[in-house]
Amino acid sequence: MEWQPHITVATVIEDQGRFLFVEEFKASRLVLNQPAGHLEANESLREAALRETLEETGWDVELTGLLGIYLYTAPSNGVTYQRVCFSARPVHHDPQRELDTDISGISWLTRDELAAQPERWRSELVLRCVDDYLAGISGSLELLR
């Protein structure tokens, strides 16, 4: 069997001290995550981040930087994910847009509100990405080819 990581994208979106999260059901529980998903064939990482954010939240965003590239192995199934995480600013929200079927809603939370409920994080990357953003980590989008 050939080992292969799963490439995903995620977007940290901040507006006036609050961060945009999706609420989704995973393993029969409601969890919080950044808008995130898998890279699709013939799609750039930037395109994937914009698409996933719109599909999961109804928000059009402008990518502002490359926050980081993270490796995460899910303890539930042993699958390794490579997460390419972006920072972004909100541009326009379409509240009528139908969200992906596994998304139950969206929430704007402060870092402290998120940190107070670790049992709801999809993984530890949820808080780590927010903390990296708040630490001022930001790479140029030109790093992506």
pLDDT tens by residue, 46-68: 999 999 999 999 999 999 999 99
Cα(124)–Cα(37) distance, integer angstroms: 16
Whether residue 145 lies inside any domain: the answer is no
User: What mean pLDDT, rounded, does the chain reach?
Assistant: 94
What pLDDT score does 3 carry? 72
Which residues have a Cβ under 8 Å from the Cβ of 31 and sit 6 or more positions away?
23, 24, 25, 120, 121, 122
Whether residue 50 lies inside any domain: the answer is yes
Whether residue 143 lies inside any domain: the answer is no
86-97 average pLDDT score: 96
What pLDDT score does 1 carry? 64
Whether residue 144 lies inside any domain: the answer is no
- 23, 103 in Cβ contact below 8 A? yes
Residue 76, domain CATH? 3.90.79.10
pLDDT tens by residue, 29-44: 899 999 999 999 999 9
Residues across the chain: 145
What domain count does the chain have? 1
DSSP state of 122: S
Assess whether pLDDT exceeds 90 at residue 74.
no
81-94 average pLDDT score: 97
What pLDDT score does 35 carry? 98
65: enclosing H helix or E strand = strand 59-73
- 58, 106 in Cβ contact below 8 A? yes
Domain that holds residue 124: 6-138
